[in-house]
């Protein structure tokens, strides 16, 4: 839903960009579908950018500039948007809020939506060993705010597949890991998420990559977000999205049942807790 203008009638950068996109498209005599075809996306996607439910991404903005003959106008507009999240994750964070369902896979770290504060701090500090404490804490705060998504019964359905390595990698120490796994177990027992674990015994089966998140929407095609060290990528090309779905289904097939996965998570949590106390 579009944000209202403030009391002085000023427009936010996002409002200005989407109004300019509509104006330039109509001036060029193009429908939303017509522009979508030229920039290798759909008319529905163009419509979502114009109404504010999809962000004007830099790579899309460059294609729009080329097709509408606007120099680097839309590329500069896209670059003006600020986000509380790291740059490569900013667009994915916005889509996360709009999704009706999210399907995550992680091979080494707990996905951000399920991280405890101490676990998130250890992950962020691990990737930014020389950063100022204020920078680390700002990212921790942003990550915790993202998790409000799980507090709303109307928020996305969340299905998570973790590799067993995630449970046993000591992020932040044994005590932090015990608390983190107990938090995941509580989310499962609270019927907020569906969780499965791919055990070590599964071998190479069910391996997708470091982090994969497939997002579904009520009025838009599925989107895949993949992430590695300091880099993230959105995939919306239908054939590639379909391939990620097939890999995700293979991971679920190789994983333990939800009940067995919960038992393993709670068992490993107790292992971490015992080691922390000794």
Beta bridge partners of 227: 211, 232
pLDDT digits (tens, 9 = 90+) for 123-162: 999 988 999 999 999 999 999 998 888 888 777 999 999 9
pLDDT digits (tens, 9 = 90+) for 166-178: 999 999 999 999 9
Q: Is 265 exposed, middle or buried (0-12, 13-18, 19+ CB in 10 A)?
A: buried
Q: Which two tokens stand for residue 9?
A: 């009638």
CATH level 2 (architecture), domain 87-277? 2-Layer Sandwich (3.30)
In which order are the strands placed within the sheet that holds 101-106? 193-198, 157-163, 101-106, 211-216, 223-228, 231-235
Q: Is 155 exposed, middle or buried (0-12, 13-18, 19+ CB in 10 A)?
A: middle
Please say if the pLDDT value at position 210 is more than 90: no
What's the whole-model pTM score? 0.73
pLDDT of the residue at 86: 64
Residue that the structure tokens 């403030």 belong to: 6
Beta strands 193-198 and 157-163 are parallel
Please say if the pLDDT value at position 10 is more than 60: no
pLDDT of the residue at 234: 83
Q: Please name the fold of domain 13-79.
A: 434 Repressor (Amino-terminal Domain) (1.10.260)
> What mean pLDDT is reported for the chain?
87
pLDDT of the residue at 227: 83
Are the C-beta atoms of 210 and 201 separated by less than 8 Å? Answer: no
Q: What are the sequence ranges of the domains in the chain?
A: 13-79, 87-277
pLDDT digits (tens, 9 = 90+) for 226-259: 887 767 788 888 899 999 999 999 999 999 999 9
């Amino acid at each position: 839903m579009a944000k209202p203008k403030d009391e002085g009638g000023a427009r936010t950068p996002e409002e200005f960009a989407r109004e300019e996109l509509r104006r330039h498209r109509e001036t060029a005599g193009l429908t939303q579908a017509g522009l979508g075809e030229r920039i290798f996306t759909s008319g529905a996607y163009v419509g979502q950018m114009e109404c504010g439910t999809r962000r004007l991404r830099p790579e899309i903005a460059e294609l729009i500039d080329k097709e509408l003959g606007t120099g680097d106008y839309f590329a500069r507009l896209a670059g003006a948007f600020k986000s509380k999240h790291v740059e490569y994750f900013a667009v994915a964070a916005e889509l996360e809020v709009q999704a009706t369902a999210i399907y995550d896979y992680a091979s080494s770290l707990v996905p951000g939506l399920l991280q405890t504060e101490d676990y998130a701090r250890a992950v962020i500090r691990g990737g930014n060993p020389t950063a100022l404490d204020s920078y680390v804490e700002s990212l921790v705060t942003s990550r915790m705010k993202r998790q409000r998504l799980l507090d709303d019964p109307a928020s996305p359905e969340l299905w998570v597949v973790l590799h067993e390595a995630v449970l046993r990698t000591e992020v932040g120490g044994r005590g932090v890991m015990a608390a983190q796994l107990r938090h995941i177990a509580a989310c499962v027992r609270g019927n907020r998420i569906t969780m499965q674990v791919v055990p070590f015994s599964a071998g190479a089966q069910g391996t997708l990559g470091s982090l994969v998140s497939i997002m579904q929407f009520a009025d838009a095609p599925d989107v895949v977000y993949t992430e590695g060290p300091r880099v993230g990528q959105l995939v919306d090309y239908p054939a590639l999205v379909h391939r990620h779905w097939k890999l995700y289904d293979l991971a679920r097939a190789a994983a333990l049942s939800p009940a067995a996965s919960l038992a393993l998570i709670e068992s490993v949590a107790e292992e971490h807790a015992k080691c922390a106390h000794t």
